[in-house]
Amino acid sequence: MEKYKADFIEFLLSSGAFKPLNEGPYKLKSGRMSPHFIDMGRFDDGDGSKKLGEFYAEAILHSVGAEKFDLIFGPPYKGITLAVTTSIALANRGVNKGYSFNRKEEKIHGEATGAGKNKEEIHKKMIVGHKIENGSRVVLIDDVFTTGDTKYEAVQVLNSVADNVKIQAGMIAVDRQEINEDGEAAIEQFVKDTNIPFFAVIKTSDIIDYLYETKKLSPTDESALKRYLRAWGTKEAREKYGLGKERLIEGRTVIPACDVDSIERLEEIVKATADMKKIGGYKIGLELSLYYGLPRLVEVVKNNAPDKKFIYDHQKGATDIPDLGAKFAKVCKKSGVDAVILFPQSGPRTQVAWTGECLQQDLFVLVGGKMTHPKYALSEGGNIDDKKIIEMYQRAARQGVNHFVVPGNQPDNIKLFKEVIEKEGIDSILFAPGFVEQGGKIADATKVAGDHWHAIVGRAITEAKNIRAAAEEMTSKL
């Protein structure tokens, strides 16, 4: 790690800007509960601002280079003081660059009196500081990057006051390396939209690495930080630490869908199949859960089959408002559930929120989009747009989900969704219902599902007179 990055992290720690991990979690503006929080508002005096400018200057020189830009531009309001202090810090290093910023409201007096609408006149109305010339090479500077709205506005301002302005790069203090509420990595999207590279003095991964190397990171805190990145982190952050590679169940198995009407029948099913290697776990739905409660059902399964997984199917989870995701996840975690099934039909923000909250609680998340019954998709005469179904799988994969529910009685769709998921760089693990009673054949699904997939089988096992014999027949078809 570069020295200036390590020094900046120490600066954040010593100044109190980096809030102690053991005092978290901290509620962010997004509503997420983060184990770490950096308060850039701490730097409200001369000494703190001076040092902050020095770190920005060092990062700009390292990432951009002194010869590649002419001035620093800071959008209001945090960017204004950062532009000034960074410009001074650069001058102290022998690199004299101008700084400027824009007004929130147009100036209507002094040199702007009577100004019209050409770029020169707009400049007089809108820009304070160093003149932005045609062809000026600019570094855009701000404190954080959340949605990117301020940065997009800054690009528009710069292009409105001069021709051929070249924004060489953007710079912020800390890149939290997380996705926004729509599941997009905001910085990556900005770079893609504008072709402007964006840098940070440090990233969250730098903080983790530095604290680990200096033995200032306890195993508990390390786990919390990585769990947060697992839930909300960008692809870059997840891949750095190998997050999201775990499998709920190895190989190919059958999962009995225990949609039965009594806890006694559930226990009978579990006892009959607990020692079968090709039974991977049990899917429990609403009927039992509403009547008996999740904790009691988990106890029944774990007491009789401690090595099997308890998969809770909320039928259909994540079809409510985003805020309920945290409550749902906490209840499932406290109850001892291993994995949850979500069919996020309420839109991107609900999907991202519920998925992230469950992942942060260390639950495995199985995301589905296409159901097994007729007239579900719009193309079949149903209500759900086919493109939106595909987007549910894509969005889940981009958030790092690697477990998915696909319709076992539709081999063509199994193949389609598997390809869609894997285009996002995810090795998919599929769970498929829709067999026997709904016409699907396990052998047909096996041909397209791959080496790691699991057949969800209901009545053919749960209503059989000889549960074990029925389970053995189903597992023999894998």
Beta bridge partners of 38: 18
| Non-local CB neighbours of 113 within 8 Å, separated by 6+ positions | none
DSSP per-residue letters across 265-330: HHHHHHHHHTT-TTB-EEEE-HHHHHHH-HHHHHHHHHHH-TTSEEEEEEEEES-S-TTHHHHHHH
| Non-local CB neighbours of 386 within 8 Å, separated by 6+ positions | 377, 378, 379
| Non-local CB neighbours of 87 within 8 Å, separated by 6+ positions | 53, 72, 97, 98, 99
Based on C-alpha coordinates, what's the Rg of the chain? Answer: 27
Distance CA 426, CA 357 (A): 20
Long-range contacts of 124-128 (CB under 8 A, 24+ apart): 126/102, 126/157, 126/160, 126/161, 127/100, 127/101, 127/102, 127/103, 127/157, 127/161, 128/100, 128/101, 128/102, 128/103
Residue 348: Cβ within 10 Å count:
18
**Are 365 and 356 contacting, i.e. CB atoms less than 8 angstroms apart?**
no
Burial of 281 (0-12, 13-18, 19+ CB in 10 A): buried
Residue 191: Cβ within 10 Å count:
15
Amino acid (one-letter) located at 201: V
**Are 148 and 187 contacting, i.e. CB atoms less than 8 angstroms apart?**
yes
Beta bridge partners of 200: 172
Nearest to 420 by CA among 399, 382, 456, 394: 394
The set of catalytic residues is 107, 109
Distance CA 422, CA 432 (A): 17
Dihedral sign from CA coordinates of 83, 86, 91, 97? negative
DSSP 440: B
Residue 289: Cβ within 10 Å count:
19
| Non-local CB neighbours of 131 within 8 Å, separated by 6+ positions | 98, 100, 123
